[in-house]
Chains A and B, each alone.
Chain A
Amino acid sequence: MVAEDRINMDIYKVVTRAIASSDNLEDMAIQLTQLLVGALGIKGSTIFVLNPATEELEALASFGLSISYMNKGPILIKKSLDHQLKGEAIVIRDVSKTDRLQYPEDAQKEGIRAIVSLPISLHGKLIGVLRLYHYEQWDVSEQDLDSLMIFTENIGLALMYTRLLQALKSVKETVNEVHPIWLD
């Protein structure tokens, strides 16, 4: 069976604009998860950032998942859909038929049937993951996977851009605190 393409040009434009138009990382990330869930007609979506010290995935934004599922426990990258092949998406079309999940029972209890996990990389290094959750089996088309991978590349850039913006704001605040008497 040929998988149906869900991401058309309209969706592509809306999602890309949402990423590009916000200077607030939290807002951008949450609106992006909302848009993806709405546009793809799926159950939920989460953007994680990878903590390199603990190898834990920390949720930056999420939509569609219950509070209890979000608090199920720490998500370790090596136990939860490990992206060993950096740059490649992982598609679990049926969560009941995989041993790659860290919390398989929680996923089933949440009503998750399929998961698509996409690496967010910057300069070849994994810095986060975008995960999409569907309530039914999901055959993702190659074209949709390509589009999603482009979204995650843009998310990676947005993460770094907002980090630099934070740094600049911090420098500006520090400079503003310099008393004029020091400059006379």
Chain B
Amino acid sequence: MDTPKILLPYNFTSYDKKALDFVCRTFSDKKEAEITLFNAYIPAPIIEMRGSPIMKQMKDTLSYLSQRVKEQEDALHTIKAHLLGKGFSEDNIDIVFEPKNKDVAGDIIDLAQDGRFDIVVLNRKPGKIARFFAGSVSSKVVAALKNATVCIVS
């Protein structure tokens, strides 16, 4: 593996920051590494009640939602700037910011397979109770990916 191709899903938590630091630290001698930052946002719900008063109320929120989505995209560019500051090449850092298609794990798996990434860097907060209800993203990704290295930062 000469030039590693790294997928870094990023969701702006302190553990995502740890994963980012891991990438900066581990690949500090491979500045030519290709890094893709990935974040999937959930679009506004579709409301099957046309003509209902709630639609007007929701319309205002939808514009607000677009604003929040833009803020999230801008925040990803801040992370890209952080990587550039660490010496990685601008041409080799991509941002994939798109609406969620399946679930978080499913979207990561699809992107990792379609993009033929060598390395996927995930993070995992130990003892997180939300995982008890929603399932483990890292477990699903590890189970599904072939021919890739999955690093889990905890």
Give the total number of A-B pairs whose CB atoms are below 8 A apart: 88
User: Quick check: is B103 within 8 A (CB to CB) of the other chain?
Assistant: yes
The CA of A18 and the CA of B46, in the complex, are separated in Å by 9
Residues A52 and B129 in contact in the complex (CB < 8 Å), given A13-B49, A26-B103: yes
The CA of A10 and the CA of B54, in the complex, are separated in Å by 7
The CA of A54 and the CA of B104, in the complex, are separated in Å by 25
Chain A residue numbers with a CB within 8 Å of B61 are 34, 37-38
Interface of A is mostly: helix
Min CB distance, B27 to chain A, in Å?
25
Chain B residue numbers with a CB within 8 Å of A13 are 49
The CA of A71 and the CA of B14, in the complex, are separated in Å by 7
Interface residues on A, range: 35 or more
The CA of A153 and the CA of B130, in the complex, are separated in Å by 18
The residues in A between 23 and 54 inclusive whose CB is less than 8 angstroms from any CB of B are: 24-27, 30-31, 34-35, 37-39, 41, 49-54
> Do B45 and A35 touch across chains, with their CB atoms under 8 A apart?
yes
Min CB distance, B140 to chain A, in Å?
10
* A-contact 0/1 string along B30-63, CB 8 Å cutoff: 0000000000001011010100111001101110
Min CB distance, A108 to chain B, in Å?
20
Chain A residue numbers with a CB within 8 Å of B12 are 67, 70-71
The CA of A97 and the CA of B113, in the complex, are separated in Å by 53
Chain B residue numbers with a CB within 8 Å of A39 are 54, 57-58
User: Quick check: is B77 within 8 A (CB to CB) of the other chain?
Assistant: no
Chain B residue numbers with a CB within 8 Å of A8 are 53
> Do B128 and A51 touch across chains, with their CB atoms under 8 A apart?
yes
Residues A64 and B64 in contact in the complex (CB < 8 Å), given A10-B49, A71-B13: yes
Min CB distance, A106 to chain B, in Å?
15
User: Quick check: is A132 within 8 A (CB to CB) of the other chain?
Assistant: no
> Do B58 and A51 touch across chains, with their CB atoms under 8 A apart?
no
Chain B residue numbers with a CB within 8 Å of A18 are 45
* B-contact 0/1 string along A150-184, CB 8 Å cutoff: 00000000010011001001000000000000000
The CA of A71 and the CA of B53, in the complex, are separated in Å by 35
> Do A38 and B129 touch across chains, with their CB atoms under 8 A apart?
no
Min CB distance, B151 to chain A, in Å?
22
> Do B134 and A60 touch across chains, with their CB atoms under 8 A apart?
yes
User: Quick check: is B146 within 8 A (CB to CB) of the other chain?
Assistant: no
A-B contact pairs, 15 of them (CB 8 A): A25-B134, A34-B61, A35-B45, A35-B58, A38-B54, A38-B62, A51-B129, A53-B127, A58-B129, A60-B134, A67-B75, A70-B12, A163-B132, A166-B133, A166-B135
Interface set of B (CB-CB < 8 Å, partner A): 12-14, 42, 44-45, 47, 49, 52-54, 57-58, 60-62, 64-65, 68, 71-72, 75, 100, 103-104, 127-130, 132-135
Q: A10-B54, A24-B103, A63-B65 are in contact. List 6 more A-B contacts (CB 8 A).
A: A11-B54, A35-B58, A38-B58, A49-B132, A51-B129, A166-B135
